[in-house]
Structure 1
Amino acid sequence: MRVLLAYNKFAGGFRPKLLNALQMQLAKRGHLVFSVGTRDKEFSEELSRCDHVCVLGGDGTLRDSINLARSFNVSPSFSILPLGTINLVAREREYEKNAEIMATRIASLADPVSHYTAKMNDDAFVACLSIGPDSYSVARVTQKSKDKWGRLAYLFAFVQQLMDWKRMELSVKIDGETVRAEAIYVLKSKYFAGPWSLCRQADITLPQFSVILLPKARRRDFIRLIASAIISPRFQSAKWTQLTCNDLHISALTGTPVQADGDIAGTLPMRVQIAPEPLRFTS
């Protein structure tokens, strides 16, 4: 099997020793292995002809690799050695930072697991999308701060956001009905921002996503949302709208940032829908 190790040397936990160890373990098992940085000019060519992509990075690196694969109309299988800042999909698949275990799992592709991603306009997202106070907060996070502080960079950005709170009115069209809200969370993964969960029913293996709409997104509403994820779902408000769907359209003021998988991935307006074909991940 032709295996591409797609690494992001800017990922928060990137370790060249792990890259070398995984390459050695896969070669020992008889695979043809190539390692290329996702920002290298050779990346596109190698991705277009590989059978399997092991992403050494986080959800953002995985998302970029999926987008590129779809642009070439190729469908390799995927796995992740979790070296990013948050690593939500790796949590779902229970991938570890262990080269030998990962090589064994890549060899087990006889029984792959389907993962339905979502699309925001024409680009994929793999775990979560949000628009509201937290997307403005993520917009404050720089690559330099992520490199220096890791997950804490998001906390520092949120503290800044608390002092300069922004609210907006979103128009969300679902199944022909328009709903007004000040914040929206579109969830493929049951995990959000780490080991916590906004919706335990979210399922990456199903062709749908879970949606949470907050009619008001004041500071106290957002703190309540975080408490519902970190402490208990009992902090959820009956005023929030929660549903599942596979297609919606979101609009607001032009330029409103959209957070996807821990990065700013676009601005409104935006159509969000389930990708028609699932990805294959190592079991």
Structure 2
Amino acid sequence: MHPPSSSPHPHPRRALLIINPTAGHHSPRRQAAFVKHLEQAGLDVRIMETRYRGHAAEIVKIHLPEADLIIAGGGDGTIAEIAHAMLGQPCPLALWPVGSANVLALELGVPFHDARNATLIASGQTRTLWPGWLTTEGQASPTLFLQMVGVGPDGWVVQQLSTALKKRIGRAAYAVTALRLLSTYPFPAFETDVDGRCYQSRLTIISKGQLYGGPFRLFRHNHHEEAAFSVFMLHRLHPLCLLKQAWAFLCRNDCTTPAFSFIRGRTITCPGSQPVPAQSDGDFRGTTPLHITSAPAPLTVICPARNQPPSGERNFFRQCSLNIGKRRY
């Protein structure tokens, strides 16, 4: 699959703004100002707020024929839900990043300044993305994801996360919840199969982009415009081994070590008989066994051309090691 490169979309006029009012950085005052910017940019804006999980998809299915574009106002989970309902449609998706982490918006270079974002949306500048397609145990149908899937501790943290705490302190709620890992989560080993190659893992992260947990760059490559993923696997939990291998990874271009691996793949499965929690784009998605491949159709997203690194990125390992060493991966 080779999607077309960045291109201008015919200038849209009828915009449907779907808003998750519980998103971490949403407020009625900010919403009113953003809508005013959109109208000043020449858009006719219709606003609809979600009331429950799955409501955004229902809104899309009912009102998609009436819109020239849809603007997703929320975090990564809300955006993924709306994108799933739009999959395969020519109508472009725009982002209003008002969630706690907004990793996808950072990745795509979408402006966080609302006036500049409104100008971008009105311009119709688009990229064609290939989302991921996730199936977990007990799911009736696959779930679309735009940024990443985490299996193991990553999934457990999202499963245990308090919505109220996330609303109150934003992205820091993930760190607070993660502090309970050592005393509560058993860190079971599970299999991760990448294009037929089998690995034992304690944590697996499958990503379309470079960023993880906000502005931290974990992966070297961006696969948003192709049918592929970056895969990180943590194999060992011994602290000294992890420190030694992390230092080697910072100072050299080692992509695979006894402690962890970075590889590329197109089809990822975690078969396992023991259920391991999984999350995608910040929402809990169930447990293993799971299967990941590319979505059956592309998605047109309004965003800047791909000509610069993700916005505000920071190197994940460099940040965690207090800026010691130089990472080149």
Give the TM-score of the pair, scaled to structure 1: 0.87
In structure 2, relative to structure 1, the CA distance for the partners of 1:9 and 1:43 (3 Å cut) is same
Q: Deviations over 1:78-120 (max 9, x none)?
A: 22221111111110122233332122101221x4112221110
| 8 A Cα contact 1:133 1:166, kept in partner | no
Counterpart pick for 1:26 among 22, 38, 44:
38
Alignment of 1:1-150 (within 5 A): 1-39=13-51, 43-44=59-60, 45-47=62-64, 49-70=66-87, 74-109=89-124, 111-121=125-135, 122-150=142-170
Q: What runs of 5+ residues in structure 2 fail to find an aligned partner?
A: 1-12, 136-141, 305-329
Matched, 1:181 2:204: no
- What amino acid maps onto 2:232 in structure 1? I
In structure 2, relative to structure 1, the CA distance for the partners of 1:148 and 1:237 (3 Å cut) is same
Find the aligned partners of 2:205 and 2:237 in 1 and give their Cα distance. 12
| 8 A Cα contact 1:172 1:251, kept in partner | yes
Q: RMSD of aligned C-alpha atoms?
A: 2.6
Alignment of 1:233-272 (within 5 A): 238-239=257-258, 240-272=260-292
In structure 2, relative to structure 1, the CA distance for the partners of 1:269 and 1:7 (3 Å cut) is same
Is the deviation greater in 211-220 or in 128-137? 211-220
Is the deviation greater in 93-102 or in 42-51? 42-51
In structure 2, relative to structure 1, the CA distance for the partners of 1:164 and 1:222 (3 Å cut) is farther
- What amino acid maps onto 1:126 in structure 2? L
- What amino acid maps onto 1:108 in structure 2? S
Matched, 1:274 2:294: yes
**1:271 Cα shift?**
0.9
Counterpart residue number, 2:324: none
| 8 A Cα contact 1:169 1:252, kept in partner | no
What secondary structure sits across from 1:207 in the alignment? coil
| 8 A Cα contact 2:89 2:299, kept in partner | no
| 8 A Cα contact 2:18 2:71, kept in partner | yes
Number of residue-to-residue matches in the alignment? 277
What secondary structure sits across from 2:236 in the alignment? coil
Q: Deviations over 1:191-211 (max 9, x none)?
A: 100111221223322321101
